[in-house]
Amino acid sequence: MPTILEVLTRNNVSVNSDSVVPGANTTVRTDIQPEDWVPWRDFNYSTLTRIFHTELRKEYRGGNERRPLEKELIINNEKTLETLLGKFLSPVINYALDDQAGQTYLGEGSRCGDDADWSAISDELFDEHGYFNLLPGDTKLDAKWRPTMLRDNFNEWQKAVSQVETYMARNSTRYGFILTETNLVALRLTRQPLDAGMALLRPQRATATSLTHQRHSSDVSMASTGISGSAYSDNNPEHWAYCNPEYAVIDWAASGQGNLTIKLALWALAMMATNGDRHIDYSYPDLDTWRWADGYYVHNSSGATKPSLSKRDVYQEAFSVGGNSEVNIPGGIETTSELQQTNDPQSQFTEESAGGTGQPSSHHENIPTHLRDGTSIDNQPHVNEEDDDTRTEVGSSHHRRRGKRSRTGVTIHAHKKGGGFYYKNARGDKVDTEKRAWRRVKDGYELEGRSHVYYTKKFPG
């Protein structure tokens, strides 16, 4: 039987898009308006297969993929493309996810009551309103949107990226994607620091002339629940300031051993969004790194835990952002970065920890793409390191940590002005929060933090 990795790196079906007619993209009213993007350099085959090597070696239990009929491969609008993707792409990914931690399911955004075309859901992450959308995504036609439009049709490029970033902010998740019949674009969203004075003076953008989600001329229009410019609020992620997003482009034709494929990339995004950290922050450690929390090392992307690090493991805490802190932020102002220090009992490994990636602030010239032959047009080196079998399998990191840690009880308070909720963390700091960020348990609600599991019996109102 084939392994999950072997199946996820097989060829995609050949799509016939000759009948697609070019047109404009959706316009969403939103404060989030990226001006550029920067390469997400460690979202690549070697890094992802190193993180999830145990899971990818498992036997694939989805059976044989059926042979498509010729007419099934002909598309003429987004609806027919989504039908094709639902038959020949997402089922393979979902079978590969089914036996994994969280049993994530990649499907329609409407499963979460969301405007996004795509969602990733897990039985472990929901509340009384339904599932959380852990991985929002949107389907586009290549005739209407492609990554190179950043250079030759900026307004259309911005519409799509702004739309998906708004879905990501609305769902409080750093990961998202845009999927066409020629490319997958994986996105990561990073918050931009603002001091109090800048936040109050933050200009509002007049960004949209239409609130209608028009897929194509023959389809029924869908009303978008976008937001209008309003007073800045730190309680609503849709009103936060963001850096230009990080991105990785994966070619539809990419396949075979050693190549990052669309199915493998979507599978990895779903795994990271379900089991690792997905909250939107001011900066992030590298994907394949570990932090110290409550007596265990926790993997920053997969959520796996283990009691000690090997020589190949990289220890890297998240960056701290405070009044005098300096951070290296993707797409933002680059400054000297300093790691947040913790009591690491294996401090000899911290010398392996790297700071920020030092990404350039603008990348109009090159669109790095994972091609079918495993190369990238930005000429990044292709690393192929051996797996480390001492790593704990992704699967029960959240469960193990809950079992090992006592819960920290907190009271949820409602802000007197501006709406929203907050609680005081273990250090006594006020932390803004949303009800959807908490996991419903039988006696109340839990929130999994980096170092603590917070518990509250109820929310105000």
What digits encode the pLDDT tens for the residues 291-311?
A: 998 889 999 999 999 999 999
Q: What is the mean pLDDT of residues 315-337?
A: 49
Contacts of 450 (CB under 8 A, 6+ apart): 277, 291, 293, 298, 318
Of the candidates 194, 209, 157, the one whose C-alpha atom is nearest the C-alpha of residue 33 is: 157
* Cβ atoms 30, 207 nearer than 8 A: yes
Query: How many angstroms separate the CA atoms of 438 and 444, rounded?
Result: 9
Helices (H) and strands (E) in the chain, counts: 10, 22
Angle (nearest 5°) at CA 58 between 57 and 64: 110
Mean pLDDT of 348-363: 37
Predicted confidence (pLDDT) at residue 64 exceeds the cutoff of 60: yes
What is the average pLDDT across 368-394?
Answer: 50
Condensed to tens digits (0 to 9), the pLDDT of residues 179-189 reads: 999 999 999 99
Q: Is the pLDDT higher at 304 or at 439?
A: 304
> Is a pLDDT exceeding 60 seen at residue 118?
yes
pLDDT of residue 175: 99
pLDDT of residue 408: 81
And the tokens for 311?
């020589």
218 compared with 73, residue with greater pLDDT:
73
pTM listed for this prediction: 0.72
Closest CA to 245 of 28, 32, 42: 32
| Average pLDDT value for the chain | 79
Residue 270 · residue 173 · CB < 8 Å: no
Q: What is the mean pLDDT of residues 184-206?
A: 69
Least confident residue range of 121-135, 364-378, 445-459? 364-378
Mean pLDDT highest for which of 197-211, 239-253, 443-457? 239-253
Question: How far apart are alpha carbons 386 and 403 in whole angstroms?
Answer: 32
pLDDT at position 233: 56
Q: What would the two tokens of residue 130 be?
A: 């339904």
pLDDT of 383 > 90? The answer is no
**What is the pLDDT at residue 426?**
72
Residue 136 confidence (pLDDT) above 90:
yes
